[in-house]
Amino acid sequence: MASRVCNGFKIMGSRAFPSQLEEQSKIQNCRRGRELQFWIMGRPWGMAISFDNTYARMPDRFFESVRPARAPDPCLVRVNRSLAGELGIDPEWLESPAGVAVLSGNEVPEGAEPIAQAYAGHQFGGWVPQLGDGRAVLLGELVDRGGHRRDLQLKGAGRTPWSRGGDGKSPLGPVLREYVVSEAMAALGIPTTRALAAVATGETVHREEPMPGGILTRVAASHIRVGTFQYFHARSDDEALRVLGNHVVTRHYPELAGEAEPWIALLSAVVKRQAVLVAKWMQIGFVHGVMNTDNVAVSGETIDFGPCAFLDAFSFGKVFSSIDRGGRYAWDQQPTIALWNLVRFAETLLPLLGGHEEEKVEAVEGVLAKFEEYFQEEYYRGFADKFGLRTVEDRTGPWIRATLELLEKVQVDFTRFFSALGDAASGREDGIRAEFSDHAELDRWLKEWSTLAGGGPDLDRIRSCNPRRIPRNHRIEEAIEAAAGGDFSVFHRLVDGLARPFDDDPRFEELEEAPRAEQCVTKTFCGT
């Protein structure tokens, strides 16, 4: 296994700079204007990112032009080769010195127009009129091979006008956490931002204690947030709201073009996507941890993975975030908060609506009232699928609730319980019995399940909905701790093991295990 030591950090595995490649490569630099080309094994490589930056063409008050800070001694940790392919970017170029220069912020590629976006937001219910990208630089946009427009952003790339006195840098730990979790979410079928690459910057970032620095290259449908709309609403900038709304419709909801009531249609579309998204989170035991309005993407993707975590033993009111002392963003509070955030979004659209104030309020209230319907439909349908139920009946919802209450009472591991259902439905009950200390309770529940499933649970549905592996909190912490000591192999193994979470793969059996008591992570922390 190739390794490279760079400023005290040893990069292990094929995602670094393999010595074999270095031996076989003849690298020659050639500058033609701003273009940099490399010849590796006789093949020409250019800065092959085809940017088309629509947001940078918005009015100046939407953003500030910035340049990423230079990383003193960047080392590549990992490139997401499959995602690079989706984006039409050559992964070998990304792994070359030229690519790492871009991923670390040391070179701005041809066609990029780096900016920091303006936005505001409610943070834990408290209004902050000006936030913005304080440690992230949007390099630009590209259209992927599927025809979808994607943002390319460097997170942890230094100060911006919105840094509020901070250094704009990121410790390497949060970079690795977001890489692991966002890619796991994608593999689980949850709409999410993605991770294209992780880089160790070779510098020390000072937080509570000195930490190695890192940069995440994040890919998103866009980085437009509810807080982006709030920023202009707070300034009574109706023109900007209209420009922003039209941009969102064009980019994310083109099917709404020509609607008689475009802003009501936009609100309805965002409400539905958020309802479905939060329901999907809850079905896999995900706790976002910081559902501030500036962390709600109007595209319907999961964004910002600071203090997020996954349930081990099930608990309705589980909170991980160290700063969420009141349980505002607990597992079972997520739909309530999602609706609260959507009310804030609706407020920003009111000035764009026609009619009297009462009529406008009535119109948006009618749309917001649909949230519960959208959420419950996805929530109960999704949980019914997890149990292999073919239909959702009147009794299904109460039974699902009662089952979750049982899991909480007995302190059953959420993921292991559901992953054991397939075997249990086939008559092999050893796995699920190992999760229950009270077998009498389990026998009663199994009888209820069999009755509700009618002709028997749908095995294909069970196995396609219930992952065997999730990014467990203690495994993420192990990967971060190992990386701090220079060993990235734990991180690579975790990413690889979560790439196909529904498969029975003996190579990654340890990733299926619930944490021992001493391994349980009870608190998570924001990367800032």
Residues with catalytic roles? 294
Residue 153: phi, psi to the nearest 5? -125, 140
Tokens linked to 474: 């203690």
- DSSP state for residue 432 in the 8-state scheme: H
Q: What is the CB neighbour count within 10 angstroms for residue 342?
A: 22
In 3-state terms, what secondary structure has residue 77?
strand
The whole-angstrom separation of Cα 320 and Cα 324 is: 8
* Length in residues, the chain: 528
Tokens linked to 423: 């075997």
Nearest to 162 by CA among 138, 196, 146, 142: 138
Nearest to 253 by CA among 261, 245, 177: 245
Would you list the DSSP string of 470-525?
---HHHHHHHHHHHHTT--HHHHHHHHHTSSTTS--GGGGGGGSPPPGGG----B-
The whole-angstrom separation of Cα 203 and Cα 75 is: 11
The whole-angstrom separation of Cα 42 and Cα 40 is: 5
Q: Does residue 452 contact residue 389 with C-beta atoms inside 8 Å?
A: yes
> Tokens 């590209």 — which residue?
142
In Å, what is the CA distance from 166 to each residue of 64, 160, 180, 217?
17, 9, 25, 20
* CA trace torsion 24, 26, 27, 33 (10° rounding): -140
> Tokens 């910081």 — which residue?
290
Tokens linked to 366: 């009618």
The whole-angstrom separation of Cα 29 and Cα 26 is: 10
In 3-state terms, what secondary structure has residue 127?
strand
Q: Does residue 81 contact residue 20 with C-beta atoms inside 8 Å?
A: no
The whole-angstrom separation of Cα 179 and Cα 174 is: 8
Q: Does residue 151 contact residue 219 with C-beta atoms inside 8 Å?
A: yes
The whole-angstrom separation of Cα 164 and Cα 46 is: 37
Q: Compute the chain's Rg from CA coordinates.
A: 24
Q: Does residue 59 contact residue 243 with C-beta atoms inside 8 Å?
A: yes
Q: Which helix (H) or strand (E) holds 31?
A: strand 30-32
Q: What is the CB neighbour count within 10 angstroms for residue 479?
A: 25
In this structure, the strands spanning 9-12 and 3-6 are antiparallel
